[in-house]
Chains A and B, each alone.
Chain A
Amino acid sequence: NAGVTQTPKFQVLKTGQSMTLQCAQDMNHEYMSWYRQDPGMGLRLIHYSVGAGITDQGEVPNGYNVSRSTTEDFPLRLLSAAPSQTSVYFCASRGAGGSYNEQFFGPGTRLTVL
């Protein structure tokens, strides 16, 4: 199993550009989520999905869109990038059964917005 994969690993954008961060998992997990990690701060939840076709907002959803057309994929879209979105983005997945089940994280995407 590849686990949780993310692409790209690094990305530089100009203010106003849009892009999609890709996330895929091969563990047949129902629950997937996106986090951002900023220096000195804990990870913050952007959006999450409890299954194909179902998404919901997390703590910091503004400026981001998600969709979940398949169990495997959960892309994160930046509509109009802003310098405040410079961060490291992590995708995670977890099987059904609640928060006691381990959440597996991808390797991250380091995004810089100029």
Chain B
Amino acid sequence: KNQVEQSPQSLIILEGKNCTLQCNYTVSPFSNLRWYKQDTGRGPVSLTIMTFSENTKSNGRYTATLDADTKQSSLHITASQLSDSASYICVVAHNNAGNMLTFGGGTRLMVKP
């Protein structure tokens, strides 16, 4: 069964600290993996996308890594800010058509002052 598991489910960190969110997947075949940020009451917004051949991708203070062999991805947030408080969702595409996506349940991050 195609699954995307994220950990931890929730996380609280102090402003300025770093954190790493994990995503493990059993999706096959694999096309690409995307991380989204979802603010409370809003729709998800894409942060990064990686294909099979990409190991790392950065977007400002967000850095995503992908290990296609172990089927693991991580999202590292550097020097967290209050505005980073949100849910972070890992999504794996099975094909290029875009209609076969498996979403993780998300990690809820709270950054406290």
A and B interact: yes
- Give chain A's interface residues, CB within 8 Å of chain B: 4, 31, 33, 40-45, 48, 50, 56, 58, 90, 92, 94, 98-108
**Please, how many angstroms separate the alpha-carbon atoms of A105 and B42 in the complex?**
9
Contact A42 B102 (CB under 8 A): yes
Between-chain CB contacts (< 8 Å), 10 pairs: A42-B106, A43-B89, A45-B99, A48-B99, A50-B99, A99-B95, A100-B31, A102-B49, A105-B44, A108-B41
- Chain B hits for A48, CB < 8 A: 99
CB distance from B106 to the nearest CB of A (A): 7
Q: For this complex, into which size category does the number of interface residues on chain B fall?
A: 20 to 34
Question: When the two chains form their complex, are residues B32 and A100 in contact, meaning their CB atoms are under 8 A apart?
Answer: yes
Contact of A108 among B43, B103, B106 (CB under 8 A): B43
Assembly CA distance A10 to B46 (angstroms)? 24
Give Cα A31 to B97, complex, Å.
Answer: 10
Point out the residues of chain A lying under 8 angstroms from B46, CB to CB. 102-103
Q: Which residue of A lies closest to B5 (CB)?
A: A42
- Closest-by-CB residue of B relative to A57 is B99
Contact indicator A107/B42 (Cβ below 8 Å):
yes
Give the shortest distance, in Å, between B86 (CB) and chain A (any CB).
13
Whether A56 lies near B99 (C-beta < 8 A) is yes
- B26 contacts partner chain A, Cβ-Cβ < 8 Å: no
Could you give, for residues 7-51 of chain B, a 1 whenever the CB lies within 8 Å of some chain A CB and a 0 otherwise? 001000000000000000000000110000000011111100101
- When C-beta atoms are compared, the residue in chain B nearest to A42 turns out to be B103
**Residue of B4, B9, B31, B104 touching A99 (CB-CB under 8 A):** B31
Q: Judge whether B105 and A41 touch: CB under 8 Å.
A: yes
B93 located at the interface, meaning its Cβ lies under 8 Å from any Cβ of chain A in the complex: yes
The verdict on B96 contacting chain A, using a C-beta distance below 8 Å, is yes
- Distance, CA A44 to CA B43, complexed state (A): 14
Q: Once the chains are docked, how many angstroms separate the CA of A43 from the CA of B34?
A: 14
Asked if B101 lies at the interface with its beta carbon under 8 angstroms from chain A, I say yes
